[in-house]
Amino acid sequence: MEDVVEVDEDQEERAILEKQAPPPQPQTIEEDVEIDEDDWTFASPTTNARYQAAIQQIKDTFKDEVDETDMTMVSEYADEIFAYMGKLEVQCMANPTYMDGQTEIEWSMRKTLIDWLLQVHLRYHMLPETLWIAVNIVDRFLSRRVVSLIKLQLVGVTAMFIASKYEEIMAPSVEEFAFMTENGYSRDEILKGEKIILQTLDFNVSPYCSPYSWVRRISKADDYDIQTRTLCKFLMEVTLLDHRFLRAKPSLIAAVGMYTSKRMLQGSWDEAFIYYSDYTEEQLVPGFYLLIEDLAEKGFESSFLCKKYANKKFLKASLFARDWALQFLHHHGGLQ
């Protein structure tokens, strides 16, 4: 998996944890905010127009430095590509209130399932996009079908099986996925589940674009700083465990992750970040608060996700982020 080998052992001294978590710094954006958890992404037409005007003003004046030596960035087509992706990301969003229609499962069970999927994903060294596609499949399927508690893990492992076949060059076999359930489900049950899920989703898997697609673009704003990116990747995966982020488009999740990472590392959300992300700082503050709440939650340190990113290969990002979040709440007297 590319994230696991992204940092070699010679860079251990660069681990984010080696820096003591910096005390939270004053921000230009008002921090005494109330978060509407029913829809924290909502903005009135007037407010949204103000956001878009501010973004457009920056786009009209900001000079994008094209790296002509990096052919993979296809800079001449970037605007068209991301405009198209912006349309696709809306089409692939799950119903953020789908749990209201479920009879045996609840949000805490979804959280447990996804933490387990993180283990499966790391166990077979799969690509980051495979994880995001799998979780998206789970949420979209549960948005359309009522599932019993006994079948919830089957939905999760089958979604990962589908995502791996779509994204991986060498996908694990169905037998390997059955083994990961401790043989709680058979090979035939997973294959039958695959058919049901794909039919329910109208075989619509490919349009989904994970937040990684946007992070790669946003990272251009700070010349792909490795500490910022690694911390951002962890923060984005934290959103997978929190159902409140189902309301957020992948591009917004990427921007919230990068914004939170910059704040933790004492950076600023300047014009370059607004240009490449299409989000102002004001739009990202509610998501920042939700992330801080998740990081400071009692028991978070025992989650597989926290343990995964406590590894030096990930610059011990989870330990740093949790320490920072706890300091932030201490300085600010808790969330408003």
Q: What pLDDT does 74 receive?
A: 65
Alpha-carbon dihedral of residues 229, 223, 270, 52, nearest 10 degrees? Answer: -80
Output the pTM of the full model: 0.88
- Residue numbers in the chain where pLDDT is lower than 50: 1-14, 26, 30, 336
Question: Residue 113 in contact with residue 152, Cβ under 8 Å?
Answer: yes
Q: What pLDDT does 103 receive?
A: 96
Q: Measured over all CA atoms, what is the biggest interatomic distance in the chain, rounded to whole angstroms?
A: 59
State the Rg of the chain over Cα.
Answer: 20
CA 72, CA 113: separation in Å to the nearest integer? Answer: 35
Q: What pLDDT does 241 receive?
A: 98
- In sequence order, the 6+-apart residues with CB closer than 8 A to the CB of 334 are none
**95-200 matches 9-43+72-90+209-332 in CATH topology:** yes
Q: Residues, the chain, total?
A: 336
For 90-103, what is each residue's pLDDT tens digit? 889 999 999 999 99
Question: Residue 318 in contact with residue 309, Cβ under 8 Å?
Answer: yes
Per-domain residue ranges of the chain: 9-43+72-90+209-332, 95-200
Q: What pLDDT does 173 receive?
A: 96
Using alpha carbons only, give the angle 207, 228, 333 rounded to the nearest 5 degrees: 105
- Nearest CA to 116 out of 171, 163, 162, 154 is that of 154
Q: Can you list the alpha helix ranges (DSSP code H) found in 201-249?
A: 211-218, 226-241
For 153-163, what is each residue's pLDDT tens digit? 999 999 999 99
Q: What pLDDT does 231 receive?
A: 98
CA 313, CA 11: separation in Å to the nearest integer? Answer: 9
Q: Average pLDDT of the chain?
A: 88
For 211-231, what is each residue's pLDDT tens digit? 998 999 999 999 999 999 999
Q: What pLDDT does 336 receive?
A: 46
- In sequence order, the 6+-apart residues with CB closer than 8 A to the CB of 86 are 251
For 28-46, what is each residue's pLDDT tens digit? 554 555 566 668 888 889 9
Q: What pLDDT does 23 receive?
A: 57
- 9-43+72-90+209-332 fold: Cyclin A; domain 1 (1.10.472)
Using alpha carbons only, give the angle 154, 158, 161 rounded to the nearest 5 degrees: 150
Question: Residue 155 in contact with residue 116, Cβ under 8 Å?
Answer: no
- 95-200 fold: Cyclin A; domain 1 (1.10.472)
